[in-house]
Amino acid sequence: MTTSVASVQVKTSARKQKLWAWVVFVVGALYFLLPLAATFYWSLRAEKDKLGFEAYRRLFADVNFLPAFSESIVNALAAILLSLLLIVPTAYWVTLRLPKLRPVVEFITLLPFVIPAVVLVFGLIRLYSRPPLLLTATYDSSRVVLICVYAALSFPYVFRSVDNGLRAMDVRALTEAAQSLGANWFTILFRVIFPNLRVALLSGALLTFAIVIGELTIALFMAQHTLGPYMANLTRSKVYEPSAMAIVAFALTWMALGLIQLVGRGQQGQITGGH
């Protein structure tokens, strides 16, 4: 008798729970989809009295858009490459031979979460905009600094995914096997470790791309003509194009993050940054 009452109770409470779960999900979905739907709707209204893709056409036809976009893509790719070249050897040596350094390296890779972007660029300008360390004298040298800072901003993500990747394989055995076949350190890193880290490298790279591609704060104060400052300017000066731009940016982020899910199923552990 008592057991049947209890089981009925459990059943109704399970049904009630499911109902609440649906309510939460639908309300949440509305909150998150509404701004996207509204923006998409605006992006279709650039032509009077008819819905169409005129806003997108105007955005892509803007003489400043493609240069800013391609410059941001090049910056992002350069930052990713730089970050991988710095992080992979470091994570490799820390795992294999210098475990005492691990806390220090972990601490440094977390610094981008501790130093807000606006503070970091403040310090960069103070440090590098006057002799003896004049690195921001020209547009191009500032651009190099920007790429380096983007690489540093990617440390938390890249180090974490590379470190996870290294844990997933037997670094020591691979290294000793390669050594016994006569490989030097360079060969081991680039022909053994790098290829085995493909998935980790790719997800770190894609996350970096998503964060760096539209970065505003640092590019703005370093007077760079990249996508972030371009978009901020567009939002202030045009009516319909910003909506098309926001949709494009959302699609880009979705693509990068979707690819991560695709290549690294089951891997998690990303924290966001750069707002």
> Which parts of 166-225 interact with other proteins (CB under 8 A)?
185, 207, 210-211, 214-217, 220-221
Could you tell me the smallest distance in angstroms from the CB atom of residue 155 to other proteins?
8
Q: Nearer to other proteins by C-beta: 2 or 195?
A: 2
Exactly one of 28, 167, 168, 198 binds other proteins (CB under 8 A); that residue is 28
Q: Does 86 bind other proteins (CB under 8 A)?
A: yes
Which one of the spans 58-66, 108-116, 160-168, 192-200 is the region binding other proteins (CB under 8 A)? 108-116
Contacts of 28 (CB under 8 A, 6+ apart): none
Q: What are phi and psi of 144, to 5 degrees?
A: -60, -45
Residue whose structure tokens are 């819905």: 51
Which one of the spans 48-56, 63-71, 146-154, 192-200 is the region binding other proteins (CB under 8 A)? 146-154
**Closest among 80, 83, 110 to 205, alpha carbons compared:** 80
Total number of residues that touch other proteins (CB under 8 A): 93
CA 132 to chain centre: 33
d(CA 31, CA 263): 29
d(CA 101, CA 266): 29
Could you tell me the smallest distance in angstroms from the CB atom of residue 58 to other proteins?
15
Q: Which of residues 235-274 bind other proteins (CB under 8 A)?
A: 235-236, 242-243, 245-246, 249-250, 253-254, 257-258, 260-261, 268, 270-274
Q: Does 73 bind other proteins (CB under 8 A)?
A: no
Residues 203, 195, 258, CA angle at the centre, nearest 5°? Answer: 20
d(CA 155, CA 138): 26
Cβ-contact 222, 135 below 8 angstroms: no
Exactly one of 73, 125, 183, 199 binds other proteins (CB under 8 A); that residue is 125
Which one of the spans 16-24, 46-54, 170-178, 191-199 is the region binding other proteins (CB under 8 A)? 16-24
Q: Does 144 bind other proteins (CB under 8 A)?
A: no
Contacts of 240 (CB under 8 A, 6+ apart): 42, 43, 45, 46, 54, 55, 58
Exactly one of 108, 174, 199, 263 binds other proteins (CB under 8 A); that residue is 108
CA atoms within 13 A on the CB side of 173: 6
Total residues belonging to the chain: 275
Q: Does 17 bind other proteins (CB under 8 A)?
A: yes
Q: Does 53 bind other proteins (CB under 8 A)?
A: no
Both structure tokens of 269: 């552990």
Exactly one of 124, 162, 178, 201 binds other proteins (CB under 8 A); that residue is 124
Q: Does 72 bind other proteins (CB under 8 A)?
A: no
Q: Does 84 bind other proteins (CB under 8 A)?
A: no
